[in-house]
Amino acid sequence: MDTNPTITDDPAVTSTADGLAALAQINFSSLDPTEILATATDGAGALSACQVEASYCTVDGQMKLHPSTQSDHPELTEALQQSSWSGKVTLQQHDWARAYPLCHRDVVHGCLVVGAAATPDPTQLLLLELLAQQAGAALACAELHQRDVRRARELKESNQGLASAVQRLEARGHVHELLEGALADGSGQDGIVEAMHRLTGVPVCVEDRFGNLLAWSGPGRPHRSARPKAAEREAFLHGLAEQAGPTRSDGRVCVLIRPHAEILGLVALIFPDGKPDEEQLYALRYGSRVLGLELSHRRNLAEMQLSLSRELVDDLLSGTDADGAYARAEALGYDLRHPHYVVVIHTGRSASKADIAAVGRAAANLHVSHLVGHHGSSIVLLTDGHPTRHALHREISRQLGHDRSAIGIGPRCDAPTEFPQAFHKARRALNVRLHSARPQGVSDYDELGFYHLVDAAHTVGVAEEYLRRWLGPLVDYDEAKHTDLVHTLSHYLECGGNYDESAAALHVHRSTLRYRLRRIAELTGVDLRDVDARFNLHAATRVWRFLTPEP
């Protein structure tokens, strides 16, 4: 097909003037290398008795046959490469053949290989040279155009990438602004989680390292979440730490809150279906960092306040002036001017930071205003008002994870100067509880009654002596014979000597009770009808109850 209608069909140009006129009619107006080479091929046939056997064009910096539909000539191509795409070549079907480089400013942009049955005349050779120059200039223009198009495309892609990056930066700047604002305004973890919910559009929750729900924002908050087992929770947190990034688990996408080496908890996007996008994941990751700062700050404040509270408690128990105590308590945000009680807790182990914190949480859960500290291995609470005994022991047991604690409560303190004496009496109450048949529980100093005397006697070492004096033979007999005569005597005396009530309490027949009482009288040598003897035996059995734990 003739791609340039201005090219004459006369293959034999007879003069230079006619040839130049014909060459002038050849128009390289296209910027397509394929059309340029087609025009050059048609022009070579119009300006001479030659025909184009192969055409080449630079593609991506390499000279290649163009168009690619031509027959491959590997030997020809190799020869052209060696001759720099210029000069005579050998073609089997032609006696004369030559390669014309399509150059512009000494840069080869293509090549035409032409052949003829005989050597063209000088005019045709000149016209072929000029045609090659024009084709080279056209290919150079096409290459410049292609470069401009490529650069325009690259610029458009760069602008699109830049616009996307700017949009991403603006979105992430908004994330920073909202989360850092929530951190700065003092709204705490609830404010941060609310900001995360606004940024992501999905519910967000925060849990501590034990699985307790600390905060939730968005719909679907559970009324009560089941706390996982400790071993399962540790394994789950370890798996999150190994992932080192957002991890999907049970309809949530979770990230650890880990400002330093210690894990403080996790934050999660509630995502039962679908997959979070990159901006949601970024908000989750940055939110975990902001929450790490908040939780670390809260922990540091709590530890500092606990330390100051302990120091104040130590000084109050040791004795300090009232004005200084009031001022220090006010600095901690605590009102010490109300009546207080000293509560001493024995956990059965040393007073660790974890146990002190657990006792503090128990008091807080009971809505009891308090200061907490420790003295030796015991934990000390100063409570605003008298605590409820059973509720206090139950909540402390729950927080400690066992019910083996013993608690002593001192008398009321109306001024800080009364704390040392109240502390001493609270320890006396604790001592009574620890040496009673049921050491787990609470003893109130104001309710000790007879046990004030027992504790005092035990303190100076005479309680055991008194017990041996009146009940020694019975205790020895019970140990040797595996009987329970002391137990029988105690119930008999507690029932006021009533046979029916005593037998019912002991779940024995009246005759069995009478036999046991005769045996008791024989072993002790005491007449149970004697008033003084009964009094001493009654007191001794209470000492026995105080000193002997239940089996």
Residue with tokens 């296209």: 30
The whole-number pLDDT of residue 551 equals: 41
Extract the tokens encoding 155.
């610029």
Backbone angles phi, psi at 252, to 5 degrees: -130, 155
Question: Which of 436, 470, 393 is CA-nearest to residue 550?
Answer: 436
* Rounded Cα gap, residues 386 and 447, in angstroms: 13
CATH 2.60.40.1180 corresponds to the domain 459-547: no
Closest CA to 109 of 174, 54, 49, 33: 33
8 A C-beta contact, residue 488 and residue 528: no
CATH no. of 16-150: 3.30.450.40
Residue 433, pLDDT > 70, answer yes
As a whole number of angstroms, the distance between CA 278 and CA 289 comes to: 17
State the Cα–Cα distance between residues 53 and 382, nearest whole angstrom: 108
pLDDT at residue 456 above 70?
Answer: no
Question: d(Cα 469, Cα 399) in Å, to the nearest integer?
Answer: 44
The rounded mean pLDDT for the chain is 87
Q: pLDDT category, 5, cuts 50, 70, 90?
A: very low
**pLDDT tens digits, 476-530:** 999 999 998 988 998 888 888 888 888 888 889 999 999 999 999 999 888 888 8
pLDDT tens across 294-323, in order?
A: 988 888 887 787 788 888 999 999 998 999
Ordered by start, the domain boundaries in the chain are 16-150, 188-299, 319-448, 459-547
Domain 319-448 matches domain 459-547 at the CATH topology level: no
Condensed to tens digits (0 to 9), the pLDDT of residues 218-242 reads: 998 888 767 778 888 899 999 898 8
Q: Is the pLDDT of residue 3 over 50?
A: no
Q: Is 321 helix (H, G, I), strand (E, B) or coil?
A: coil
Which pLDDT band, with edges at 50, 70 and 90, does 6 fall under? very low
Nearest alpha carbon to residue 252 among 276, 229, 219, 233: 276
Per the structure block, which two tokens stand in for 305? 């306040």
Strands of 252-257's sheet, edge to edge?
213-217, 204-208, 265-270, 252-257, 247-249
Q: What is the 8-class DSSP label of residue 446? A: G
Whether the CB-CB separation of 485 and 477 falls below 8 Å is answered with yes
End-to-end Cα separation, the chain, in angstroms: 116
Rounded distance, CA 424 to CA 283, Å? 55
Q: Which CATH superfamily is domain 188-299 in?
A: GAF domain (3.30.450.40)
Whether 289 contacts 259, CB under 8 Å = yes
259 preceded by a cis bond (ω within 30 of 0):
no
Pairing of β 441-444 and β 406-413 = parallel
- The pTM assigned to this predicted structure is 0.52
According to the model, what pLDDT value does residue 460 have?
Answer: 62
Find the largest Cα–Cα distance for the chain: 165
- Reduced to 3 states, what is the DSSP secondary structure of residue 103? strand
d(CA 158, CA 152): 10
Q: What is the DSSP letter of 369?
A: -
State the CB neighbour count (10 A cutoff) for residue 115.
19
- Please state the φ and ψ torsions of residue 421, each to the nearest 5 degrees: -70, -40
The SS3 call for residue 381 is strand
What pLDDT score does 18 carry? 81
Alpha helices in 185-321 (DSSP H): 188-200, 230-243, 278-318
Q: Provide the sign of the torsion angle of the four alpha carbons 85, 86, 89, 93, taken in this order.
A: positive
Q: Which CATH architecture does the domain made up of 319-448 adopt?
A: 2-Layer Sandwich (3.30)
Are the C-beta atoms of 130 and 23 separated by less than 8 Å? yes
Cα–Cα dist 479/472, whole Å = 11
Residue 494 neighbours by CB under 8 Å, 6+ apart: 505, 538, 541
**Alpha-helical segments (H) within 185-277:** 188-200, 230-243
Contact 247, 240 (CB under 8 A): yes
Tokens 């072929």 correspond to 128
For residues 288 and 255, the answer to whether their CB atoms sit within 8 Å is yes
pLDDT at residue number 491:
85
Paired residues of 442 in beta bridges: 407
Tokens of 353: 């930071």
